[in-house]
Amino acid sequence: MIEGIQLEFFLILGTLVFFIGIYGFLTRKNLITMLMSAELILNAVNINFVAFNKYLYPENLEGQFFALFIIAIAATEVAVAVSIIISLYRRIKSIDVEKVNEMKY
């Protein structure tokens, strides 16, 4: 842990980044930028896990493993989302969420 920095500082940082991500998710219309906001949210959760691990239970590594699994799941999520975005763009020539109302056959 870092001298002079409380656990609450990390948690507030995580909260701020999380809600910045939520703001982006609510206001953006482009699918790729919404995906970036989702990445922000996941990363905020990672910061929280790591801070808890380091400050409260430093003898275990649970927070680190959860952060690792979150990173792996974020990678798979981005891969599938990008392929969906590309096939959507081929079909309707746009990636605006408001124009994607004809996804069904």
Partner 1 sequence: MELIIFYILVAGILISSVLTVTSRRILRAAVYLLFMLLGSAGLFFMLNFYFLAAVQLTVYAGGIIVLIIFSVMLTSQVNEKLEAAGIKKSLFSLIAVAAGTVVCISAILNYNFPAVSSAENDSSMRTIGLQLLSYKENGYALPFEVISILLLASMVGAIIIAKRDVSK
Smallest distance from partner 1 to CB 101, Å: 18
Smallest distance from partner 1 to CB 55, Å: 5
Q: What's the CA gap between 37 and 51, in Å, rounded?
A: 22
Nearer to partner 1, 75 or 101 (CB): 75
Nearer to partner 1, 77 or 101 (CB): 77
Contacts of 33 (CB under 8 A, 6+ apart): 24
Terminal C-alpha separation, the chain:
54
Structure tokens at 90: 């081929």
Nearer to partner 1, 43 or 104 (CB): 43
Q: Taking a C-beta distance cutoff of 8 angstroms, is the pair 29, 98 a contact?
A: yes
Smallest distance from partner 1 to CB 17, Å: 5
